[in-house]
Amino acid sequence: MAGAHQKNHDYHIIDPSPWPLLASIGAFVMAFGGVGLMRYVAGGSFKLFGLELANPWVFAIGLAIVLYTMFGWWSDTIREGREGHHTRVVSLHLRYGMIMFIASEVMFFAAWFWAFFDASLFAGEPIQAARAAYTGGVWPPKGIEVLDPWHLPLYNTVILLLSGTTVTWAHHALLHDDRKGLVYGLTLTVLLGVLFSFVQGYEYAHAPFAFRDSIYGATFFMATGFHGFHVLVGTIFLLVCLFRALGGGFSQQHHFGFEAAAWYWHFVDVVWLFLFFSIYIWGGWGAPIAHG
């Protein structure tokens, strides 16, 4: 009788889970809360079914639900892996899922790059008369002072390239069962990610242009800010991996959680190189550089 229920396949049939429903509820609440938060910041009103949603609390509640769902869902996934449910087939499908996720992120960044190149390459086209009125027919637009690409942007480029090296070191150490090397490499990567975010925050605070000032500022902050958000997410991802490594998690054979974080971090590195060369160097070429 026991043999009749023995699993004879490589697939994992998961137990009933509340997380998909709870994630949907959290995302729904957070979406409306986001609109209410923006209305609240702007001093406006956002009423729905007679309720005033122009406040920060609805968004905070939705965010809390989403974060709790992420913690619970990924905790279940880690537990399933420890129980041996992540077979060869399941592990392959986890990799496919991460690849598809990164591919969707590539499409997001393609949209921001498309907006930047559309505005910059066709700034002086006669057919784009309205745009030419904003840019003066040239790119960068007339009156714009740009950031020096060989100052803080170059510094951040070096930081991210170093972080790509340290996360590879950590991965290599894990494959050779070097727990100290794994922890040291992850710690350095997290610290470099935090340093990158601080440098970019300082750069934003001292930028000579604003988001709303021009199409240059809008495309610049959307592209670099979206990347900065991904650096923050990647840093948290690697920090979780560091805590797991300190707790004895991961093995030479089973460590896809760390591998996914490393893939994501290398993706962030590559996107930054495109941003650095296209937006900071080429996109600001010929414009006066802001000093101070």
Of the pLDDT bands very low, low, confident and very high (cuts 50, 70, 90), residue 1 is very low
Residue 24 in any domain: the answer is yes
81 and 107 housed in the same domain: no
Q: What is the pLDDT of residue 172?
A: 95
166 and 240 housed in the same domain: yes
CATH of the domain at 193: 1.20.120.80
Task: Give mean pLDDT, residues 240-269.
Answer: 92
The alpha helices in 51-178, defined as continuous H runs, are 57-82, 88-121, 129-135, 152-175
- Residue 285 and residue 120: Cα distance in Å, rounded? 11
With beta carbons less than 8 A apart as the criterion, state whether 19 and 69 touch: yes
- 32-46, pLDDT tens digit by residue? 999 999 999 988 888
Task: Give mean pLDDT, residues 174-180.
Answer: 93
Domain final position from 85, 101, 132: 85
- 53-89, pLDDT tens digit by residue? 889 999 999 999 999 999 999 999 888 888 888 888 8
- 103-140, pLDDT tens digit by residue? 999 999 999 999 899 888 876 655 455 555 566 677 88
118 and 59 housed in the same domain: no
Per the structure, how many domains does the chain have?
2
Residue 10 in any domain: the answer is no
- Residue 144 and residue 123: Cα distance in Å, rounded? 14
81 and 105 housed in the same domain: no
79 and 94 housed in the same domain: no
Task: Give the side-chain half-sphere CA count within 13 A for 277.
Answer: 5
Angle made by CA atoms 140, 149, 204, in degrees to the nearest 5 = 80
190 and 54 housed in the same domain: no
133 and 41 housed in the same domain: no
148 and 262 housed in the same domain: yes
CATH of the domain at 30: 1.10.287.70
Instruction: Compare 57 and 51 and report the one with higher pLDDT.
Output: 57
Residue 290 in any domain: the answer is no
Residue 5 in any domain: the answer is no
32-59 in b/e burial notation, b at 16+ Cβ within 10 A? bbeebbebbeeeeebeeeeeebbeeebb
Tell me if residue 44 falls in helix, strand or coil: coil
254 and 174 housed in the same domain: yes
Q: What is the pLDDT of residue 135?
A: 63
DSSP-based helix, strand, coil % in the chain, nearest 5: 70, 0, 30
Least confident of 122-131, 200-209, 240-249, 282-291: 122-131
Percent of the chain with pLDDT over 90: 63
Q: What is the pLDDT of residue 130?
A: 53
Structural domain range at position 244: 87-282
Q: What is the pLDDT of residue 78?
A: 87
Residue 9 in any domain: the answer is no
Provide the phi-psi class of 82: left if phi over 0, else alpha when psi is between -120 and 50, else beta: alpha
